[in-house]
Amino acid sequence: MTIFLTILAGVCTFVLGQIALKLLIDPVQEFKRVIAEIAHVLIEHANVFGNPGLLGPDKEKPVSELLRQLSSRLNAQMYLVPAYGITSKIFGLPPKDKVVAAAGHLIGLSNGFGGNNPDRDMRNMYRAQHIRDALGIYVSALERLDPELEKEFYKG
């Protein structure tokens, strides 16, 4: 009887561990993976969104579409994490409002290639910084843009 109870306890422990893994750990890891991919894309394609209109539509359109896809994936992954408010605190994920803000800035960055606004390059760079800040992606003091200067780009 003792052997049976030991085996049953082992099976129950394994099953509960697998449930926790599939329902909690995997969604959190995938969410963090999307944040890491956003960090990667913001560095890799800074030359494209930081110079809108200079590289042409053949270079800008794929980056614009990628940013829009990342916004969608970020938003979707957040909803796959169960009890996000609690889980985010346990696993050090950004708060829900910051994730939503980052997704919005990704869409804004995606849209930042068109138009004739002469300040769109700087607006894009500030959007990228807001995305990093919202998602907890490190920006060194040397790379940080001046928040007071940002106000100049949104006057009028």
pLDDT, tens digit only, all 156 positions of the chain: 788 778 777 767 877 777 766 667 899 999 999 999 999 999 999 999 988 888 888 999 999 999 999 999 999 999 999 999 999 999 999 999 999 999 999 999 999 887 677 788 889 999 999 999 999 999 888 888 888 887 776 654
Q: Residue 138 phi/psi, 5° resolution?
A: -65, 135
Q: How far apart are CA 42 and CA 35, in angstroms?
A: 11
Token readout for 82 is 């169960």
What is the structure's pLDDT at 127?
A: 94
CA dihedral over 155, 94, 73, 137, signed as positive or negative: positive
Taking a C-beta distance cutoff of 8 angstroms, is the pair 69, 97 a contact? no
Q: How far apart are CA 60 and CA 53, in angstroms?
A: 8
What is the structure's pLDDT at 154?
A: 63
What is the structure's pLDDT at 156?
A: 44
Taking a C-beta distance cutoff of 8 angstroms, is the pair 88, 81 a contact? yes
Taking a C-beta distance cutoff of 8 angstroms, is the pair 153, 119 a contact? yes
Considering the entire predicted model, what is its pTM? Answer: 0.85
DSSP 23-84: IIIHHHHHHHHHHHHHHHHHHHTHHHHTSTTTS-HHHHHHHHHHHHHHHHHHHHHHHHSTTH
